[in-house]
Amino acid sequence: MRSYTFASSALLSISGVAGSVLMNNGLAATPQMGWDNWNAYGCDVSADLLLDSAQAMADLGLRDVGYHYVILDDCWSDGRYENGSLRPNFEKFPNGMAAIADYIHSLGMGYGMYSSAGKYTCAQYAGSLGHETTDANTFASWGVDYLKYDNCYNEGQSGNPNISYARYEKMSTALNNTGRPILYSMCNWGQDRPWDWAFTIANSWRATGDITDFFDRPDVRCPCEDKEGLNCEFPGFHCSVMNIINKMVWTIQRSQPGGWNDLDALEVGNGGMSDEEYKLHMTMWASMKSPLLIGTNVQTLDAKSYSILTNPAILALSQDPAGAAIIRRWSYQVPQKDIFGVGEVQMFSGSLSNGDYAVVLLNAATDEMHMNATAGDIFVDEGGKISAAAKSAWDVYDLWANRMPDSVANQILQSNGTAGFSAAQNYYYNATAQSYADGIAANDTLLMGTKVGTLEALGTLKAMVPAHGVMAYRLRPSNATAVSKRDEL
C-alpha cells in the first residue's frame, strides 16, 4: 500500500418559477467540476484509488482547470457503530475518512462522499434515510465538502414532488446545520420533476437515469425518451448521450447559479464512443450547464481525452458567470439514420456574459452534414430577425479549432505534468491564476476560441458538421474590444 503524509485536520416552499430562493450555502455559483469514481470503477474503491487519483488530477493540471472535487461513490461503508454513526470499511480505508479528506485538502481540492436517501445505498450498504442528522454530522466531522445523495431503497417515499421534496429536504437541513459548507448533489434520477423544486434545497439534481458510454443506443433499461422524460416513472439506467440531451432540452432553463440540472458524470475516456462523439458529449454538458464530473481513470488518461477535458474555450462556456444554459431552437429528423433508426440535426443558442452568444450545431446523423443557423434563429429570444442583435454583425470564434494537439497532451501526460506545461501555453488555461470570468472579461484568446469569420447582419452561420459531432461557436459583437493573448499560464 502506498504511504502518504496527512495534514492534521429553513423549510422553503416548492416553486417551479425560476428566480425563486435558491439553496443558500454559497456554493456552486457555476456548475461544479470534479471526478467521481463510479463510471470507471464501480464498487472497486480504496484509499489508494482516491489518493492516487487526486494526486494525478493535481499533477496533470486537471485541478487547475477547475476539476475541484474528488468524489468517493458507493461501497465505502461497513454498516454503523453502536451509536448509530456510519462506519467506514477499514480494509479499504485503513486510516479512515478524515485522513482521505486531509490529503485531498492538502492538494487544494475538495472531498466528496456518497449516501442514499433510502434504507440502503444502491449497492446495498447502509443508507441515510432516518439518519440524516447523524450522518450529516459524521460527514462534516470527516471534512467532507460534497455529498452525492442517491435514491435507492427509498421505502416508497416517492411518487409526487411533495413526498420526494420532504425526503431530500431533511438532508439539506442537516447539512446546513453542521455549519460546514457541503455542496449538496441530489441524485433522484429525475423522479417527481426535481427541476421544479430541488433548487430550493440542493446545489444540483440528477435529472435523468444513469448514463452509459454510448452515443445513441436505445435500451429498454432507459425506457423514457424525449418529452416522456418530464414525467418518467422509471428513469432507469444505460441512458445514452443523445437520450439524455433530448430529455433535458425541455427542462434545461431550470438551471441557474447555485442550482443545476445534472446530466450525470462524463464518459470521456472510457472508450465506448468516438472522438467526435466525446467532443459532442463534452460540449453539450458544458453548454447545458451540467456539473462536469470526470468519470474515467485519470491515472491512465489518453491524449485525446485529456485535450477534450481541458479545452479552455469549452470550459469557459460551462463556467460562464451568467449561468444560462443554451436552448434548442430547432430539431429535424434526417434520412441518414443509424441501425437503430436514429438520425437528427439540432441547433442550440444562448446568451453568455459580456454580451456574447453561444451557438452549437449538433449532427446526430451518420453522415457529415451541411448545417446552418440564421441570425433570426440564433437571436430568437431577442426578437428574432427584427431584433437589434440579428441586425448586427458578430465575430465568430470556433471553440474547437485550437484544441490541444496529441503531441502536446502526451508531453503533459508522460511527464506527469512537471515538464509538459511549457509546451502547452497556447492550449492550456490555468483557472487558478485567472478565473474563467476574468479571462473572458480580458478577452483571452484561449477562452474565446479561434476567429473563423463574421456573421453579417441578418446573415446565416454555415458549417460542415461531422457525423455524430458538433460545431461550437462563441459570437461577439464585431465592434467589441479585440481579443488579447496572455503571455503566461
397 and 264 belong to one structural domain: no
Contacts of 423 (CB under 8 A, 6+ apart): 408, 411, 412
Is the domain of 367 the same as that of 249? no
In angstroms, what is the C-alpha Rg of the chain?
A: 22
The CA distance from 241 to 341, in Å, is 16
Q: Are residues 74 and 169 in the same domain?
A: yes
22 band by pLDDT with thresholds 50, 70 and 90: low
Residues 102 and 212 both lie in one domain: yes
Residues in contact with 483: Cβ distance below 8 Å, sequence separation at least 6, in sequence order: 443, 444, 445, 448, 451
Instruction: Please write the tens of the pLDDT for every residue from 330-342.
Output: 999 999 999 998 8
Q: Please tell me the predicted confidence (pLDDT) of residue 253.
A: 86
Alpha helices by DSSP H, listed for 251-370, are 275-287, 303-309, 312-318
| Residues 129 and 263 occupy one common structural domain | yes
Burial class (CB in 10 A: 0-12, 13-18, 19+), 6: middle
- What element of type H or E holds 412? helix 406-414
Domain end residue (candidates: 301, 319, 337): 319
**Average per-residue pLDDT in the chain?**
93
Here the CATH number for the domain that contains residue 398 is 2.60.40.1180
pLDDT at 463: 98
| pLDDT above 90 as % of the chain | 89
Residue 315 sits in the same domain as residue 177: yes
Pairs from 92-99 (Cβ < 8 Å, separation ≥ 24): 92/45, 92/46, 92/47, 93/46, 93/47, 94/1, 94/47, 95/6, 95/47, 96/142, 97/142, 97/143, 97/144, 98/9, 98/141, 98/142, 98/143, 99/4, 99/6, 99/9, 99/47
What is the average pLDDT across 90-101? 99
pLDDT-derived band at 42 (thresholds 50, 70, 90) equals very high
Average pLDDT of the segment spanning 5-21: 37
- Give dist(CA 266, CA 43) in Å, integer: 18
Number of domains the chain is built from: 2
**E strands, 161-216, in order:** 183-186, 204-206
How far apart are the C-alpha atoms of 449 and 396, rounded to whole Å? Answer: 9
Among candidate residues 319, 348, 367, the one where a domain is terminated:
319
Q: Are residues 312 and 344 in the same domain?
A: no
Specify the residue for cell string 505534468: 417
Measured from the Cβ of residue 284, the count of other Cβ atoms closer than 10 Å reads 24
Q: Is residue 147 part of a domain?
A: yes
> What's the pLDDT tens digit per position in 43-67?
999 999 999 999 999 999 999 999 9
Reported as a pLDDT band with limits 50, 70 and 90, residue 24 is: confident
What is the tens place of the pLDDT at every residue in 416-465?
777 788 889 999 999 999 999 999 999 999 999 999 999 999 999 999 99
Count of CB atoms within 10 A of residue 264's CB?
A: 26
Domain membership flag for residue 14 = no
Q: What percent of the chain has pLDDT over 70?
A: 93
Q: What is the pLDDT of residue 21?
A: 52
Is the residue at 428 inside a domain? no
Residue 153 falls in which region: left (phi positive, over 0), alpha (psi -120 to 50) or beta: left
Q: Using CA atoms, how far apart are residues 7 and 25, in angstroms rounded to an integer?
A: 26
Domain identity same for 66 and 159: yes
Q: Kindly state the helix (H) or strand (E) to which residue 111 belongs, with its residue range.
A: strand 110-116
Specify the pLDDT at position 252: 86
pLDDT of residue 424: 93
Backbone angles phi and psi of 349, in degrees to 5: -150, 165
What is the rounded distance in angstroms from the CA atom of residue 85 to the CA atom of residue 80?
5
Catalytically active residues are 150, 210
Domain that holds residue 168: 33-319
Question: Of 115, 5, 114, which is closest to residue 51 (Cα–Cα)?
Answer: 5
Rounded Cα–Cα distance for residues 182 and 175 (Å): 7
End-to-end CA distance of the chain: 35
Whether residue 366 lies inside any domain: the answer is: yes
Q: Is the pLDDT of residue 15 over 60?
A: no
Of 320, 380, 384, the residue nearest 356 (C-alpha): 320
How many CA atoms, within 13 angstroms, populate the side-chain half-sphere of residue 385? 7
Residue 142 lies in a domain: yes
Q: pLDDT confidence of 485, banded at 50, 70, 90?
A: low
Q: How far apart, in whole angstroms, are the C-alpha atoms of residue 343 and residue 334?
A: 6
pTM, rounded to two decimals: 0.94
**Do residues 237 and 356 share a domain?**
no
